[in-house]
Chains A and B, each alone.
Chain A
Amino acid sequence: MDPLRSYLGRLLLEEVTPVVMVLTTPLAEAACRKSGLSLVDMLSPFSLFKKIDVPVRTASDQPYRLQMFKIRMVYASDVRKQDYEATDERIKPIVSEANESALPDLLSDPPQLEDVLSKPEAELCPLWIRKFNRALMRTLSFSEHETFDHPVACLLVVSSKDTEPISKFVDLFNTNQLPSLLNEGVMDPQILKHYLILHDKQDGPQEIAINILAEMKSTLGLNDCKLLCINSSTEADGVDAEDSWLPYKSYGLHNQEGACWLNMDDLNEIKDFMQDLASNHIIPYMEQKIRVLNQQVATTRKGFRNQIKNLWWRKRDDVPEASNGPMYTFTSIESQIRVLGDYAFMLRDYELALSNYRLLSTDYKLDKAWKRFAGVQEMSGLCYFMLDQSRKDAEYCMDSAFSTYLRIGSSGKRNATRCGLWWAEMLKTKGQYREASSVYYRVSNEEPSLHSAVLLEQAACCYLLSKPPMLRKYGFHLVLAGNSYYVSDQKQHAVRAYRNALFVYKQHPWSYINDHVHFNVGRWYGVLGIFDVAIKHLLEIIACSHQSLTTQNMFLNDFFHFVQSMGKKFDVYKLQLPAINMSSLRVIYEDHRTYASDADVNVSESIWQELEEEMIPSSSVVRTNWLDKSPDLRKYKDSCVCVVGEAVKVRIELRNPLQIPVTVSCISLICQLSSSLDASSAENIVLTKDAGEDISNTRPAISTSEDDGNNFTVSKLDIVLGGSETKSVQLEVTPKVEGILKLLGIRWTLSDLLVGYQYFEFDTKRKTKKGKRGPRRSLSGNLIVIKGLPKLMGCIDHLPTNAFAGDLRLLKLNLRNHSDYAVKNIKMKFSHPRFVIPGDLSEVDLEFPQCLRKHIQSEINTVPTKRTHEGFKGLLFAFPQDIKIQGGATFSWPVWFHAATPGNFSLYTSLYYEMESPSDITYRTLRMHYNIEVFPSLDVSFAIKMCSSKLKEYIVRMDVLNRTPSESFGLHQLSCNDNKWAISTLPLCDSISSVETVSANQAISSFFKIKDLGANSCKEAEDSCRSDMLLSCEGGTEEFDVSRSPITDFHCQERYQQGRLAKGPCDLLDFILISKAVGGNYSKSKQDVQLLSHHVCHCSALDQSPIWWFMEGPRTVTHDFSKSYCEANIQLVIHNSGQHDTSVRIVTFDSLTDKRTTVNLQDSNSNQGGWYDVSLENDIKAISTAKGTHYQKQPSDSISPYVWSSLSCAQVDLKPDTSAKVPLKACIFMPGTYNFSNYQLHWKVHSSEVGQVDENERTGGGQGHPFYVTVLQDAQ
């Protein structure tokens, strides 16, 4: 690319041009003012010559032609070093002006990636930025170390009205009025002078001016004087004024005041004058000067000798100089070389310029005049560029100039900026955008914020233009620029910069970046008063959970502030605060299934279905029936059904992502109810909804969401969400007419300021996948509304949430019909019949627990238990057929509750009822669900042992352990399940248990006896031995009847439940222990008497055997041993209580094989007579120790003190439930106490069905029970 055509080339051609200093008299200036222009303003447009086409010959002999040429016209007063602050003030309007043009842009959408990439370079770097760059460079005009701003010529202008114009010319160039730079010797005061007499035609005829011109020519020089006539237009703002200015408009000539006295002739005259000035005076003068200077430089500096001399001279001269470098005046050879270089540069003899600059750079380097050195390097870099030669050299020069400027500190900063700008432009021209942007970035660091902002923006543009585009860098630098703009109070620019960067950060979740960008854009838009866009951006970040509390607060406060500034509520789609958990969406509606409370809905549908299995008619039949009636609705076969007047509930989770509490009010559903009449239109909407989820996303229509008071009502809910809190809300919509109800979404008001809404996303795919979870959790938002149905509400009153095991209560099931229609055919089922049993209507008014007492009336005693041995798994309870609940009526039914075992239980109850009147749905169910926690109370266990001395009697040990931490229970009653058992105390005992109250953590054991009375004998022994035994004295009369409902019902359940766990088949009996809570927190808190019943079922004896036996006979025998030995007649009674025929073999033996018997017989203290020292029972322990010590003395061949005499072996066959007596005889030889236990029984069961009884049961055996007989010597 031709460097002259590049932007930098043109910039240099326009900026590095000869300066013409203008000196005017006040009258001359006044003449120009008439047209609203200063003289410089008037001349400037004509100082640019696009095709001057002048031959130029500089140092070389070869002339070349200049095409474009420009001269800069500057007032003498402006020829001075610029004040930085003043120039900065001048630059500011350039930036601010662009603000206004940017404003409409800000209202449009932010640019997208494609837009930005397709934009041409010019648009990315708009005109005002170039203007800004130039202005920034111009702030360095007339610096002392550069000479291209030094005036080449001086134009002296005197008005024809001035008196003594000739002397005026002399006065004008008086040194006192000249710029200080000229006087100080930095600039050469010996410059080309050009004299101009300005004539205002309105002041008089031209002749005066011509006369003066003639006079000037004679005194000041023939060629250097000119006459210029202006204001020749006869009327202000002439007809052709507009047209005549037109060609010059582009030069920046603006006629502000409107009145213009210049006509076409004047303009042409000015043009000719300028052309003449440039081509006939300035350029020849510069050519000449170049040649002179070149000659001078050649003689003093060129050539080997001069170089040596120069080095020598410099070294000597260098020593006394200050570190600042020597002060070079215009007469110094360095300055002259610089002038030569600059003139050559301006006349585009770049090679000549470059050679001089290079010569100069070594000098300055030696002198350590760094600023001048940098200036020269800068220029040589530009020369390299313009010559389009070594790119590397150009960059090297610019780099060294730039870094040198930076090195010299603050005075070089702006120079560095200009150098950087040139350098960057140079790099851009060569397509090295990345390097250019890094230069811009470096420059921006040295400038005040406003400048740096513009520079950073240019850096960003360069990143975008680089190949491939570096978008992230682009974004980052735009953000940096935006920040700088904001700091320098240029908000529009700041917003623009950030906005342009938005697309870079849009798709990537770099959280902090997103927050920063959106927050700042939003805030600045807000400051600019564009609230809607501000809110749009702030909406993106108000749900920032990762930020700290203060940041969240700041975001939220700004957001609310802007929303308030908007002054109206408005709707925001998908407002992120609070966050709505769409996966938690649950639609709860009641078709034929109704629920007692909302918590019941969470129970899995399968549990209910299992529970209701046998209660309800097959569902498919029912469905087709009522759907067939309305063929219109057939297409909604899969849809769900709800009933007019009954609320459809939607449960959804709201989460506050912030740490700040937020108020959310007016949470309601967005619904649409299309009545069946316009079903076709509803269908359309359904179809469009099916077509794509996007439709609902883009559709901003709130019209359907308005609360349609005629068709349905929606509930409104207000909540406050604390920091990071999640709340589940339940929203309701109650349809009022039949039709199709669509649940579209949810809307809410945040902090009373703005309304957010969001549409539900019903995913049809998920529906099929999770179909097995039952249709209750509807995933499509469509519900068919059918006409009103009766509905029962119900609950079990006072059902405890926690109870002690065994707790027995009478509760009430309350039902209420809320509709106008009656219901009939009510059925009920409990999931845990062990816990809850429906009572009888007669029990409604009974007083608990008195109703359980034993009554004298016989008819009550004989009331049969209704449901004793039905299926225990579940209990289907049908209310009497005649029970109907009329509309609006309430209905109560008693229910018995018994806390059977400790643990947590979910009690499910389902109530079935049918409609009295025909309707779409023939039946409904009411589902209730209760959670009960049962604490352990009393642990009751029984140990039963067969009584060895009586037939069909058992000794029982009852262990009661109170496992509560603080409760006391009074034992009230112990009962057996069957009347054939009689409980009796042990002999010499008043009561079974020694204590009546078991306090916390206490364990007691008590012993008693039970007797098997047999089936027929229950009546006869009624008074003495009964199956019930009162344990407490004070409530002696309060005996509870365990054979009546509900205790017996619960007992059946317990039997069934415990029987499943029991291992052995040999269960004897069940015990029921009834106790009362007498002390502790629990009983105090409840007023009513606590009654606890513990059922211990399937108790079995420890040594259960089918054969009972014991000895019968006289306990004391008196015999005269002097006559003969004594014969004791005793009988062994054997009873078969088993189910089968059994043969029993009795074996007696005399030898003491069994050690246990010998112990009893042989005692140390006993004499030979066989006296046995019957010790006290308390000393059993002592005996056992004695037995150990004396065991050794015992003779091994001891002789039995008695001898069986009748038989040694007998066999008896016993039928079931029969007894046999086997007579036995023993011979005793001396008085004493004898234990006739030296026998064994062996039995064998003859089972008809082999395998019924296992091997252990089939055969068995047992030692004889101890039977003591005391034989006394007959005294006679």
Chain B
Amino acid sequence: MASTACFVIVSKNDIPIYEAEVGSAPKKEDLAYQHQFILHAALDVVQDLAWSTNAMFLKSVDRFNDLVVSGYVTAGHVRFMLLHDSRSEDGIKSFFQEVHELYIKIFLNPLYLPGSRITSSHFDTKVRALARRYL
């Protein structure tokens, strides 16, 4: 498992609707905003890359020092962003795909308003389990 990993789902309107620190390293307050900064900045790159490929998985899109940002864009232009320091691209791809399925399940929930924050604890535990498995 990666020591640092920060997973964010960004809605179509660039609003983070789900955030999770899934790394094994202990969470530090001052790193939280750094991660947000990096992920937020990487959206610019994702925006470019998303239209240049048919694949949803964009591989690693951006890097900051030794941290890498991988991206995944759904059909609805919801972006999954993972900040990580590990190198297993296959694992990240699987992670994204599984999270996508989870996200679709959330999306199918008639009580979920698309673009609003995902507060489901079930989703949270599932994502964290996936992170442990793949990252």
Structural contact, B44 and A470, CB atoms closer than 8 A: yes
CB distance from A393 to the nearest CB of B (A): 27
Structural contact, A476 and B16, CB atoms closer than 8 A: no
Could you give, for residues 445-481 of chain A, a 1 whenever the CB lies within 8 Å of some chain B CB and a 0 otherwise? 1000000000000000001000000111101110100
Structural contact, A516 and B44, CB atoms closer than 8 A: no
Option from A473, A512, A547 in Cβ contact (under 8 Å) with B41: A473
Residues in chain A near residue B16, CB distance under 8 A: 509-510
Select from chain B the residue with minimum beta-carbon distance to A475.
B41
**Given A475-B40, A513-B37, 11 other A-B residues pairs in contact with their CB atoms under 8 A:** A445-B65, A472-B44, A473-B44, A473-B45, A475-B41, A477-B41, A509-B15, A510-B16, A510-B36, A547-B29, A550-B29
CB distance from A1108 to the nearest CB of B (A): 69
Residues in chain A near residue B42, CB distance under 8 A: 472
CB distance from B43 to the nearest CB of A (A): 5
Complex Cα gap A819–B134 (Å): 78
Structural contact, B44 and A513, CB atoms closer than 8 A: no
Given known contacts A508-B14, A547-B29, A548-B29, A471 and B44 CB-to-CB distance under 8 angstroms:
yes
Structural contact, A479 and B37, CB atoms closer than 8 A: yes
Structural contact, B41 and A472, CB atoms closer than 8 A: yes
Can you offer 21 A-B residue contacts whose CB atoms are under 8 A? A471-B44, A472-B41, A472-B42, A472-B44, A475-B40, A476-B37, A476-B40, A476-B41, A477-B41, A505-B40, A508-B15, A508-B40, A509-B16, A510-B36, A512-B33, A512-B36, A513-B36, A515-B33, A516-B37, A548-B29, A550-B29
B1 interface contact, C-beta 8 A: no
Residues in chain A near residue B15, CB distance under 8 A: 508-509
Option from A513, A547, A551 in Cβ contact (under 8 Å) with B40: A513
Complex Cα gap A512–B37 (Å): 8
Size band of the B side of the interface? 10 to 19
Structural contact, B33 and A513, CB atoms closer than 8 A: yes
Residues in chain A near residue B36, CB distance under 8 A: 510-513
Select from chain B the residue with minimum beta-carbon distance to A515.
B33
Structural contact, A512 and B44, CB atoms closer than 8 A: no
Most buried by A among B16, B44, B45: B44
Residues in chain A near residue B45, CB distance under 8 A: 470, 473
CB distance from A516 to the nearest CB of B (A): 4
Query: Footprint of B on A, CB under 8 Å?
Result: 445, 463, 470-473, 475-477, 479, 505, 508-513, 515-516, 547-548, 550-551
Query: Footprint of A on B, CB under 8 Å?
Result: 14-16, 29, 32-33, 35-38, 40-45, 65
Select from chain A the residue with minimum beta-carbon distance to B37.
A476
Residues in chain A near residue B32, CB distance under 8 A: 512
Residues in chain A near residue B35, CB distance under 8 A: 512
Given known contacts A515-B33, A547-B29, A510 and B44 CB-to-CB distance under 8 angstroms:
no
Select from chain A the residue with minimum beta-carbon distance to B8.
A510
Complex Cα gap A547–B29 (Å): 8
Complex Cα gap A516–B16 (Å): 17
Complex Cα gap A479–B36 (Å): 12
Most buried by B among A470, A476, A548: A476
Option from B29, B41, B44 in Cβ contact (under 8 Å) with A551: B29
Residues in chain B near residue A513, CB distance under 8 A: 33, 36-37, 40
CB distance from A1242 to the nearest CB of B (A): 69
Complex Cα gap A463–B38 (Å): 15
Complex Cα gap A470–B37 (Å): 14
Select from chain A the residue with minimum beta-carbon distance to B44.
A470
CB distance from B51 to the nearest CB of A (A): 12
Residues in chain B near residue A479, CB distance under 8 A: 37
CB distance from A158 to the nearest CB of B (A): 58
Complex Cα gap A329–B38 (Å): 49
Select from chain B the residue with minimum beta-carbon distance to A551.
B29
Select from chain B the residue with minimum beta-carbon distance to A469.
B44
Structural contact, A510 and B40, CB atoms closer than 8 A: yes
CB distance from B10 to the nearest CB of A (A): 9
Complex Cα gap A475–B40 (Å): 9
Complex Cα gap A513–B16 (Å): 12
CB distance from A374 to the nearest CB of B (A): 24
Complex Cα gap A833–B33 (Å): 65
Residues in chain B near residue A505, CB distance under 8 A: 40
The 3 A-B residue pairs whose C-beta atoms are closest, nearest first, are A476-B41, A512-B33, A470-B44
Residues in chain B near residue A463, CB distance under 8 A: 44
Residues in chain B near residue A550, CB distance under 8 A: 29
Most buried by A among B16, B33, B36, B43: B33
Complex Cα gap A472–B62 (Å): 13
Select from chain A the residue with minimum beta-carbon distance to B14.
A508
Residues in chain A near residue B44, CB distance under 8 A: 463, 470-473
Complex Cα gap A471–B38 (Å): 13
Complex Cα gap A473–B65 (Å): 15
Residues in chain A near residue B14, CB distance under 8 A: 508
Complex Cα gap A1072–B32 (Å): 74
